[in-house]
Amino acid sequence: MERAITSKANPRFKDLLASLRPTGAARAHTLLLGEKLIETWRGAPHAGRLIPESLWLMESMGTPDSMRDLRVPVQWLGEKLMAELSDSASPPICALLLRLGPESVGPLNNRVIVPWGIQDPGNLGAIFRSAAAFGFQEALLGPGCADPFSPKALRGSMGAAFLLSIRRVQTLELGSGRWFALDSGDGAIPLNEAELIEPLRILVGNEGHGWKHESLPAAVQHVAIPTSGVESLNAAVAAGIACYEAQRRIAG
């Protein structure tokens, strides 16, 4: 076992931090923190888009049996540096550095969740988690969305980001399917009246202003989730309800 890195000035640790610094579309690497998230990635259908480059272990830890076949360089970190890397008082025992491959291309899947301007990475991760749980296969990210591969978004998704094909777009160009925008404003029809059949695309607007500053194509139908006592729902909660309702109807 090599001697653990304990200094922030260590060139290998500085290179690791530098590889994680770009965000959004400029991001080329991400970091999976903890055994559970790493194992979720390994068993996921879209794991191939993320290519492992190096495994980082807490000092005095051996390589976990489940990771011996990764065939990547292994480096040990002191506890304080692992805590800094994970931004947590209780750091994980391992972290896996991954390189991001190219985004999906071609026709959209049968069920697509479309976050549009979702700024909070925790909300974005929660939307991914609900979409994956209810049979959605793809996420189409509009401008202004949080970075889907940031550590906070990955934690919020609990690995669901690996279950969905993820691609970014700058403009909304409608292809096949039925497009619905979740909207609590005037003119939206109740969700139970919407024809939720495949191919299905459900749009989720910004947490604060929804669709007020967006001009959606006329073919996008606005649908509302009826509430009592509150004006609107959290974006991630609304997405979860809509995805569940779609799954309930499609599954029959």
Render pLDDT for 26-48 as a digit per residue (tens, 0 to 9). 999 999 999 988 988 888 877 77
Distance, in Å, from the CA atom of 244 to the CA atom of 119, rounded to the nearest integer, reads 23
Helices (H), the chain: 11-20, 35-42, 79-86, 121-133, 151-157, 235-251
- pLDDT tens per residue, range 74-96: 999 999 999 988 877 788 999 99
The CATH superfamily holding the domain 11-100 is: Ribosomal protein L30/S12 (3.30.1330.30)
Q: Is the pLDDT of residue 73 over 90?
A: yes
CATH H-level, domain 111-251: superfamily = SPOUT methyltransferase, trefoil knot domain (3.40.1280.10)
Token pair for 231: 């004006």
Which of these ranges, 7-16, 37-46, 217-226, has the smallest mean pLDDT? 37-46
Using one digit for the tens of pLDDT, what is the confidence trace for 156-197?
888 888 889 999 999 988 888 999 999 987 789 999 999 999
Which residue type sits at 10?
Answer: N
> Residue 142: its pLDDT value, please?
93
The domain spans of the chain are: 11-100, 111-251
pLDDT band at 110 (very low <50, low <70, confident <90, very high): very high
User: Helices in 150-252 by DSSP H: which ranges?
Assistant: 151-157, 235-251
Question: Torsion angle, CA of 125/163/194/118, rounded to 10 degrees?
Answer: 20
- What angle (nearest 5°) sits at the alpha carbon of residue 86, between those of residues 103 and 54? 55
**Please, are residues 203 and 181 in contact by the beta-carbon 8 Å criterion?**
yes
Which residue shows structure tokens 């001009």? Answer: 215
pLDDT number for residue 3: 87
Predicted pLDDT of residue 247:
96
d(CA 177, CA 112): 10
Work out whether strand 138-141 and strand 111-115 pair parallel, antiparallel, or are unpaired: parallel
Report pLDDT digits (tens) over 141-152: 999 999 999 988
Is 0.75 topped by the overall pTM? yes
Quote the tokens at residue 166: 């993820």
Q: What is the mean pLDDT of residues 112-124?
A: 95
Q: Is 218 exposed, middle or buried (0-12, 13-18, 19+ CB in 10 A)?
A: exposed
